[in-house]
Amino acid sequence: EVQLVESGGGLIQPGGSLRLSCAASGFTVSSNYMSWVRQAPGKGLEWVSVIYSGGSTYYADSVKGRFTISRDNSKNTLYLQMNSLRAEDTAVYYCAREGRVGATSHWGQGTLVTVSS
Amino acid sequence: DIQMTQSPSSLSASVGDRVTITCQASQDISNYLNWYQQKPGKAPKLLIYDASNLETGVPSRFSGSGSGTDFTFTISSLQPEDIATYYCQQYDNLARRFGQGTKVEIK
């Protein structure tokens, strides 16, 4: 059974850094396209970043240069390093697996990141 | 950048009604368009991929159509359990982009 479990969210001050983790089971992270998607409170879904099985990475303009997606193949875990955090980064962050290219078939439960002083 | 415009932002319909949501891309995206359902407090669920393909296990009352810039998502007979917010999502080699969402309520 495919499972994705996020961790690392919390309250952080503006300008701070946070690293989110997504522990995967039931499949191999490095063989799949993996994404982070976020949802601000009461708002819609916003795609954040994707890492392809070949290692290429892409980002939404809103986080480019501040966020870095990566994976640890030995731990079968996906990460999102978030630097220079802003109030507008406050959201639930979902880890997601694309079972089909471009289409997310499995989602984690989400982890809440709150950026506030 | 490609922009996705989804409408309406909300709708109210009766059980058994046919419900239609549209999504328009700012440029030709072929059939690289998916539809998701999200219930409150839950992660989204993939319903339709590549514009018109029903994801495994999804009821047949859900359907999608379109290509190029104009896409349609349809619930043929609205059920109480279909109350949710629905999102279109475009993808290409460089990014994925969601529409603004459509909140579906029972009248």
Tens digit of each residue's pLDDT (9 = 90 or more) over A48-86: 999 999 999 999 999 999 999 999 999 999 999 999 999
Q: Is A9's pLDDT higher than 90? A: yes
pLDDT of A24: 98
Residue the block writes with tokens 């359990």 = B81
Q: Report how far residue A18's alpha carbon sits from residue A5's, in angstroms, rounded to the nearest whole number.
A: 17
Q: Which residue of A has its CA nearest to B96?
A: A47
- Strand bridging mode A57-59 / A3-7: unpaired
**Confidence bin at A10 (pLDDT 50/70/90):** very high
A100 pLDDT band (50/70/90 cuts)? confident
Q: Which chain B positions have a beta carbon within 8 Å of A64's beta carbon?
A: none
What value does the mean pLDDT of chain B take? 97
Could you give the CA distance from residue A51 to residue A70 in angstroms, rounded to a whole number? Answer: 7
| A106 strand-pairing partners | A97
Name chain A contacts of B52, Cβ cutoff 8 Å: none
Q: Give the model confidence (pLDDT) of B31-69 as tens digits.
A: 999 999 999 999 999 999 999 999 999 999 999 999 999
Q: How many CA atoms lie within 13 A of B15 on its CB side?
A: 3
Interface-testing mutation among A104, A105, A112, with chain B (most B C-beta atoms within 10 A): A104
pLDDT digits (tens, 9 = 90+) for A35-48: 999 999 999 999 99
Q: Which amino acid does the sequence have at A47?
A: W
Q: Please give the single-letter amino acid code of residue A35.
A: S
One-letter amino acid at A28 equals: T
Strands A57-59, A111-115: pairing kind: unpaired
Of B9, B8, B16, whose CA–CA distance to B80 is shortest? B16
Q: Does residue A49 belong to the interface with chain B, where contact is any CB pair within 8 Å?
A: no
* B1 contacts: CB under 8 Å, gap ≥ 6: A61, B95, B97
CB spacing of A44 vs B95 below 8 angstroms: no
A48's torsion region: left (phi>0), alpha (psi -120 to 50) or beta? alpha
